[in-house]
Amino acid sequence: MEETNSNIEENEIKTKLFATPVAKLMEAQKRAEKFAEEKEAHNTCKELVKCVALTRIIYGNGHWRLAQAFANLAHSYLMLQGLPVQAKKHANSAKYSIFMRKSSPLASTEEREIQSTLVTIYYTLGVANLMQKNGKESYCNLQKAERIMEELQGTETTGFRVSERDLMAALGRASLQNNKLELAARYFEKAIEATISSGGETAPELISLYQEMAEMEQIKKNHEKAIRCLLQRLLKNISLRASQSTKRHLAWIIFRQLMLWKTTVNGLHEQGKESKPIAFSKSHLNRSKIPAEILMNRQLRDCILWDASVWQRRK
How does pLDDT run across 50-100, given as a tens digit for each residue? 999 999 999 998 899 999 999 999 999 999 999 999 999 999 999 999 888
pLDDT digits (tens, 9 = 90+) for 2-29: 555 555 555 555 556 657 999 999 999 9
- Whole-number pLDDT of residue 266: 47
- Whole-number pLDDT of residue 245: 57
pLDDT digits (tens, 9 = 90+) for 217-254: 767 666 566 566 555 555 555 444 445 555 555 555 55
**What confidence category does residue 43 fall into, taking pLDDT thresholds of 50, 70 and 90?**
very high
> What CATH number matches the domain at 14-162, 3.20.20.10, 3.40.50.970, 1.25.40.10, 3.10.20.30?
1.25.40.10
Dihedral angle computed from the Cα positions of residues 232, 237, 239 and 244, in that order, rounded to the nearest 10 degrees:
-140
> Domain-by-domain residue ranges, the chain?
14-162, 200-315
- Whole-number pLDDT of residue 265: 43
Judged against a pLDDT cut of 50, whether residue 270 lies above it is answered with no
- Whole-number pLDDT of residue 33: 94
Average pLDDT of span 179-203: 87
